[in-house]
Structure 1
Amino acid sequence: MKKVLIVLAAVLLVGAMVGMATTVVEETIGTIATLDPAWSYDTASGEAIWQLYDNLIQYNGASLKEFKPMISTNVPSEKDGTILDNGKTYIFHIRQGVYFHNGDVLTPEDVKYSLERTIIFDRAGGPTWMLAEPLLKEIDGAYVDTLEDWAAKLAGVKHYSDLFIKDTRTPKNAQYKQALIDAFNMLDKDFEIKGNDLIIHLPHAYPPFLFILAHGANWSAIVDKKWAAENGAWDGRADTWWKYHNPTREKDPLYSIENGSGPFTLERWTKGREIVFKRFDHYWAGPAKIEYGIIKRVQEFTTRKLDLMQGNADMIYVPQQYMSQVEKLPGVTVIKNLPELVIDDVFFNWNINAKGNPYVGSGKLDGKGIPPDFFSNLDVRKAFVYLFPYKTYIDQVLNGQAIVPNGCIPKGMLGYDPKVPPTYHQDLAKATEYFKKAYNGELWKKGFTMTVVYNSGNVARRTAAEMIRAFARKINPKFNVQIKSELWASFLDDYLAGKLPLFALGWLADYPDPYDFAQPFYGSAGAYGSTLGKNYVAWAKENMDGLINESMKTTDPAKRAEIYKELNVKAYDIAYAIWTAQPMGHHVQRADLKGWYYNAMRPGVDFYSLYK
């Protein structure tokens, strides 16, 4: 009897070991917000969606320039005749025999529905603009970011909200309802299904279009139309779309469920704690090598480190300042110098909102404050860009894991040239020269007082502010830079209200194309450009907007690269910002984990590639 029990115990032990070997655990700090591809615009949610849903095409391993088929069996190209009309028509051959997790078979109609659903979904602050710009016709020569704009234009009203009875989603009259329907039908004409092909007709060429469709761009992930409608999502009709437009997260019916065609199904999601994926054995590309993938939210680094050492976690998130604690751990692999598509910088507010604003002191050039248009002065901006200790900041704050940008285009992307323009560097003699020139010498004579604000908990941004303060005082003791932290919500409120004289923020690529950086940074209507004050907006309209628009009118990479170089030179000449860093990433895992690869556009880990 004892022998039988011993044998049974051995069998159970082997079974447990096999179970452990087929489970991969990642511990990180991000909180998943949603499982709905049309809602997600954060990397934590994007990592989960990556495992559950597929897109038309995918990146070829680590490459940011080459694609390979996914749900489409081809990657459209001019060479094989599947990109036509000077980049305005794309033909996708939809793969047959692909199953959604509930057993439904994927069709071209599901792909069409998924892309249209993202456009009509259009939640506030979401990713819809990336599909809207290529798929919607321009208005007055400008890209349209939301179907709202076309609905309002066709109805002849100023705002989308004017179409509806107050506090309802009921159109005020038949004319307005028809305008809503006509706006959708304009979008619907972009799509044509012929047999098993989905043909997309863009109203204008849009060079980054394939990037916007690739795996990792969750807003283009493919959902099951039938299943989505059955669960309360949009039914696909032209005369209902506005009822499903811009929902709150809690009222989004696909918020916490999924039915993708990806390599894993959702086993369970314990919100704020962990999500568990189970292998989908009917995956079109073959089942994953592991049975389960788990992402756990573990806030304390010491706990994550201990779990890694003990084998309870296979991968962990390690902040840069803790890298020395994991680099020599036995059985642990550390991969460094991974170029991220991120640009961090310190912006100048050309027209500060001085009303009730303590951060500008007196609001005058009297030594006790700064005037609202302080950073409209080119000499002031040049003085600050020569003041900052770029190399010291990267070496001491970022442990050498970054490079100094020379504009908004990251290294590794079309249009980046390390020599054009040159990077700024610290030169206190030049900083002094420009400070003395500013305001005909009055600034140097009187000094100034202002406050630099950073978001609480961001050590790097706090240190950058401290460096600006230290070197400003070193140049002239009358230069008084104060430092204040704010919680993120308050910081964001003050930023949007235009109250911050200097502010540090960064931009992470939505897709690996320079337009995704040039437009937000330099455009007069860009996410950052539009917040830099009326003087910058006026300058950008005259000097930047035309070039940004021109960069999207050609699909020739060489011509586009030259335009982005020109934009960066213009930004250099006006001392647009203190370009602080393009960070380099790292990855920490147990040595027995195999199959991990790096792609800067992937939100987190690709569990499908992993095995032990």
Structure 2
Amino acid sequence: MNRKTLVLPALAGLLAPVLVACGGGDTAGKGGRAIVVGTTDRFEETTDAPAPFDPAAAYDVSAWNVLHSGFQTLMRLPRSGTAPVADAAEKCWFADRKNEQFRCTLREGLKFSNGNALTAEDVKFSVERALAINFDNGPVSLLSNIDQVETPSEQEVVFHLKTPDATFPQKIATPAAAIVDAQSYDKDKLGNGFKIVGSGPYTVRTEQKDGRVTKLLLEKNAAYQGPLQLRNDKVELRFFDDETSMDKALRAGEVDLVNRTMSPERIARLRADGDDSGVRLLEVPGQEISYLAFNTEDPTVKSKPVRQAIAQLVDRRALTRDAYDRANDPLFSLVPSGITGHQNSFSNKYGEEPSVDKARSILRAANITTPVPLTLTYNEDHYGQANAKAFAALQQQLGNGGLFQVQLQSVKWSEFRPNAAQGKYAVYGMGWFPDFPDPDNFVAPFIGKDNFLRSPYRNTRISDDLIPSSRETGQREAAARYFQQAQDIVADEVPVLPLWQGKSYVAARQNVTGAEWALNSASELQPWELGRGA
């Protein structure tokens, strides 16, 4: 989100941002009370995030779920599948064979929620605004390949790219390219608060206290012109301080669905209860990943053998078994299973089982004195309580054999993300939800000068050769070989260390319908698909 991409990404043992239930496309939610979604996510204004719902700044999965409802993009991901379809655009296409010029024609009659007409100039303004603001923790890297935007008419937009990019349609389907009203947003600075002036399927109303959203209501936008058919008139996000109170509200029928976060223990309890509780638990495929990120300029982990020794000691199977109650799967590469080009590069190099002897040999060959002091930094209020348990397990694993002397450091999310981007942590835990379902989005965001982590790590073979070559390839299956080579390089140099691939667990009341369409291929919420019925 990102991860998303930040995203940021839904993480281990947490309920992914999806809403799932039984039944079909019933429209019983129309005209009645709002469908209530419970969440432990927080939306708050901070110095580093003054406008949590500004598309130029928002880059985590929870915020993107809101932005997809309040704003339109030229294209969006479909109900299922990975090829973007037209949204605010009537049609879009590459106008050349090199994937360097992309053209879109807008739908007729588009309007923002304030009544202003949406034209090609607003599209141009929105993209150029995001590039000009260049927010440190934002999604600007998804747009950084745009060289120029032209508007031949009020209905036509032409993007000229710096280099070929077959993934560009997927990038402008993300909220990074959300279309804002040029009369309502400053062109060179972020807004303040939680304002959304968009043309999406819903208008967004919030209630706040002390700079934090206490209630968020999505209401059907009567001015919306687009392909989506809403199966409800209102969706309310209700915020909880912890999963216990959220679970209690779900069981009492005060909440229709729960959405982020649930611990592995909570998932196991719901599974054991079965449908008799009035709540249904479903498991759906997930593409979120969790990983350790390394500041490769920090003296502690600057040496590649140190990072390789860490890779040799981590026991992913024990981690997912003991810390997450098997709610996630071990991950041995940046590109998760189910995505084109996936291969287990880390297990190919280090094996699936940890080895103290091999780790010791790596450090000894590099003349590195042991134990190596190491601080692992993690977060709980964004990634959930299970993260603390996971990092305690990692501390024990890395301490085996006396090769590392490990300390743990828990930091609140409001400080964690900006501090990590400023290089204040040697090793820290992060999650990633894909911005779009393509191997490019599991490799490119972590490599090069504009990387999402603001990491100093560079590899020109990946950034200057493999990724550009892959983006010249419109058939993504044919691009797989480039990403397989990139995964092998990452496994050798270890700028990041993948830990697990998430499963998405969803709990919903039995009378909620639209489950089969509530999640698209990037695991993004589609609240317009939800209704209430038998």
Per the TM superposition, whether the score is higher than 0.5 is yes
1:212 aligns with 2:212: no
Gaps of 5+ in 2: 1-27, 45-51
TM-aligned CA deviation for residue 499 of structure 1: 6.3
Give the Cα–Cα distance (whole angstroms) in 1 for the partners of residues 201 and 298 of structure 2. Answer: 50
Determine which of 443, 446, 450 is the counterpart of 1:518: 443
Q: Which has the larger radius of gyration?
A: 1
Tell me the alpha carbon deviations over residues 518-573 of structure 1, each in whole angstroms, 9 at most, x when there is no partner. Answer: 234344663448345xxxx4xx2467643334333444424421111011122234
Gaps of 5+ in 1: 1-16, 77-81, 137-186, 235-243, 354-371
CA RMSD of aligned residues (A): 3.3
Aligned to 1:343: 289
TM-score by length of 2: 0.79
TM-aligned CA deviation for residue 90 of structure 1: 2.1
Would the alpha carbon gap of residues 479 and 513 (structure 1) be closer, same or farther in structure 2, given more than 3 Å must change? same
1:262 aligns with 2:189: no
Determine which of 234, 245, 253 is the counterpart of 1:292: 234
Give the Cα–Cα distance (whole angstroms) in 2 for the partners of residues 375 and 212 of structure 1. Answer: 32
Give the Cα–Cα distance (whole angstroms) in 2 for the partners of residues 200 and 544 of structure 1. Answer: 22
Give the Cα–Cα distance (whole angstroms) in 2 for the partners of residues 609 and 323 of structure 1. Answer: 24
Would the alpha carbon gap of residues 301 and 20 (structure 1) be closer, same or farther in structure 2, given more than 3 Å must change? farther
Give the Cα–Cα distance (whole angstroms) in 1 for the partners of residues 396 and 530 of structure 2. Answer: 48
Q: Percent identity?
A: 18
Aligned to 1:237: none
1:108 aligns with 2:120: yes
Would the alpha carbon gap of residues 56 and 377 (structure 1) be closer, same or farther in structure 2, given more than 3 Å must change? closer
Would the alpha carbon gap of residues 262 and 431 (structure 1) be closer, same or farther in structure 2, given more than 3 Å must change? same
Would the alpha carbon gap of residues 601 and 456 (structure 1) be closer, same or farther in structure 2, given more than 3 Å must change? closer
What letter matches 1:100 in structure 2?
F
Aligned to 1:567: 486
Give the Cα–Cα distance (whole angstroms) in 2 for the partners of residues 464 and 28 of structure 1. Answer: 22
What letter matches 2:61 in structure 1?
T
Would the alpha carbon gap of residues 62 and 587 (structure 1) be closer, same or farther in structure 2, given more than 3 Å must change? farther
Local SS of the residue matching 2:479: helix
1:324 aligns with 2:302: no
What letter matches 1:30 in structure 2?
D
Give the Cα–Cα distance (whole angstroms) in 2 for the partners of residues 530 and 557 of structure 1. Answer: 27
Give the Cα–Cα distance (whole angstroms) in 2 for the partners of residues 23 and 96 of structure 1. Answer: 30
Superposition map of 1:202-601 within 5 A: 202-214=161-173, 217-225=174-182, 229=183, 231=184, 233-234=185-186, 244-247=187-190, 249-250=191-192, 255-270=193-208, 271-284=212-225, 285=227, 288-317=230-259, 318-321=261-264, 322-327=266-271, 328=273, 330-340=277-287, 342-348=288-294, 350-353=296-299, 372=300, 376-378=303-305, 380-418=306-344, 422=348, 424-428=350-354, 430-436=355-361, 438-440=363-365, 447-457=370-380, 459-471=385-397, 474-475=400-401, 478-479=402-403, 481-488=405-412, 495=420, 500-523=425-448, 526-528=451-453, 530-531=455-456, 537=458, 540-541=459-460, 545-574=464-493, 577-596=496-515, 597-601=518-522
Local SS of the residue matching 2:204: strand
Tell me the alpha carbon deviations over residues 171-216 of structure 1, each in whole angstroms, 9 at most, x when there is no partner. Answer: xxxxxxxxxxxxxxxx3xx3132473333333432222111111xx
Comparing 315-324 with 543-552, which one deviates more in the overlay?
543-552
Would the alpha carbon gap of residues 194 and 447 (structure 1) be closer, same or farther in structure 2, given more than 3 Å must change? closer
Local SS of the residue matching 1:273: strand
Local SS of the residue matching 2:442: helix
1:61 aligns with 2:79: yes
Give the Cα–Cα distance (whole angstroms) in 2 for the partners of residues 491 and 40 of structure 1. Answer: 16
Local SS of the residue matching 1:118: helix
Would the alpha carbon gap of residues 456 and 286 (structure 1) be closer, same or farther in structure 2, given more than 3 Å must change? closer
Kindly indicate whether the alpha-carbon contact (under 8 Å) linking 1:207 and 1:552 is maintained by their aligned counterparts in 2: yes
Tell me the alpha carbon deviations over residues 345-402 of structure 1, each in whole angstroms, 9 at most, x when there is no partner. Answer: 234555534xxxxxxxxxxxxxxxxxx5x66253x54443232221111122122222
Give the Cα–Cα distance (whole angstroms) in 1 for the partners of residues 42 and 126 of structure 2. Answer: 25
Would the alpha carbon gap of residues 461 and 278 (structure 1) be closer, same or farther in structure 2, given more than 3 Å must change? closer
Higher RCO structure (Cα 8 Å, ≥6 apart)? 2
Tell me the alpha carbon deviations over residues 406-426 of structure 1, each in whole angstroms, 9 at most, x when there is no partner. Answer: 322222333223589737545
Give the Cα–Cα distance (whole angstroms) in 1 for the partners of residues 447 and 489 of structure 2. Answer: 10
Give the Cα–Cα distance (whole angstroms) in 2 for the partners of residues 39 and 557 of structure 1. Answer: 29
What letter matches 2:254 in structure 1?
N
Would the alpha carbon gap of residues 320 and 201 (structure 1) be closer, same or farther in structure 2, given more than 3 Å must change? same
What letter matches 1:610 in structure 2?
L
